[in-house]
Structures are given as structure tokens and as C-alpha cells.
Amino acid sequence: MRQIVLDTETTGLSAEGGDRIIEIGCVELLARKLTGNNKHFYLNPERDSHEDALKVHGISNEFLRDKPKFSAVADELMEYLAGAEIIIHNAAFDVAFLNKELELSGKPAFKTYVGPVTDTLMMAKEMYPGKRNSLDALCDRLGVDNSSRTLHGALLDAELLADVYINLTRGQDALLIDMADSDSMGGIVTRVDLTAFTLPVLLANDKEAAEHEEVLKQLDKASGGKTVWRISTSAAVA
């Protein structure tokens, strides 16, 4: 399925309270690869940004005065997003704003245009319980270079989130090294067969075992006692 990583910037925090979208950034992924077929809009929100919001995105009210209104780009945006899986960090926030903008434009709700919506914040909370899971924190944790992110920007943040998403969802297949795709690139695919190696078994020392136990306790607390490791161990003993 075609995937679109989406981010917005807004005049404030409340779509129902009258805040509006001022910027939309979209990055396309096909087969988990960036295509360069992106979309980016600055929008006239017909109101000023709150002072706190200005500190976050740095987009002045004056800059937005001559930009198109959401209704003017709605058809182009929805056609671009049509049928795709939408990937958003803290999806409830952005979807609420998109729904309000579509409502004000006399159009159906966001979900009627797109495929499933994937929330990377929820994914990160499940993978890293009890840790900070902001976009910046995930970039640091997953080795994504966010040095150019001095202020929030919808397109830049969508590009960073695309890299974060790819890292969050990279499974054991990453151990197979593909030098090229033989069908699409005309090259030869080279794979490393790990079964050919005898891998040493390194047992945890007392300190490492204690640290592991502490992590399991934190997972127990976050999951309400449903830590898979403990459940699997109990089943094996039984």
C-alpha cells in the first residue's frame, strides 16, 4: 500500500476552539522507500497564531496573509492522499484539525478519503514504555539526524518522521543485506545467509541480569502485568 507521512502546523492547540491549520507537509513512501513525490502547503488561517504556537513554528502571521485558504487546496490534497495509509505522530491532533478544516469547507471527514491511519506516537509508547517519545526523542534514539530542526516545520517534520517510521518498523529482515533490487534496478541481489555462521552464546553477568530484571519490572508496570517475556517463561515452565 502507498504510504503518506503527514504533519501539520497550526495557530494553536484547539481545532474546536477555532484554531486553524497553517502548514501541511506530506512525504510519500512506496515499498518503504522515499519517492520524492511530496506535497507542501502554507495556508492562510484567517486568524493569528497564538504566541506560544509562534514560538514553536516561527511562521509569522504576515507571511501567511497572501497564502491560499484550506478550501482552495482541499481537493488537490485529498486527491493526493486518496486511499493511502497515513502515518502521523500523535494522529488524533492532526486528524481533528483536518476534520475541522474539511467540515468548514463543506467536505466529508478525513477518514472517508484515506486508508488506515497509523499513529507513530502510539507505536513508540508500546515499544518504549516510560520513555520520552517526542519526534526529537525518537530521532535521537533511532539515529535520525534532526540537527536542522531548530523550529517545527510540517514538511521537515514529515521527512524526519518518515525516517523514524522506517526505523521503528525495521524487523529482522534488516539482517539480510540487499545490495540492489534485481527486478526494479537490474542489479544482483546479494544476501548474507546467517545460518552459515556459528554465533557464540554470551551469558549475562549478574549486573546485566539485574538490569534486565529492572526493565521487566518497568514493562510489568506499564502493561499491567502482561509482559510477554514473563508470560512465555511461565508457559514454558508449566
Q: Which residues, other chains included, contact 76 with Cβ-Cβ below 8 Å and sequence gap of 6+?
A: 39
| Helix, strand, coil share of the chain (percent; to 5) | 45, 15, 40
Q: Which residues, other chains included, contact 22 with Cβ-Cβ below 8 Å and sequence gap of 6+?
A: 9, 10, 11, 42, 43, 45, 49, 57, 59, 64
CA distance 137 to 117: 22
Say whether 185 sits in a helix, a strand or coil: coil
Output the furthest CA–CA distance in the chain (Å, rounded).
69
Is residue 12 within 8 A of residue 19, CB to CB? The reply is yes
Q: Give the residue numbers marked as catalytic.
A: 152
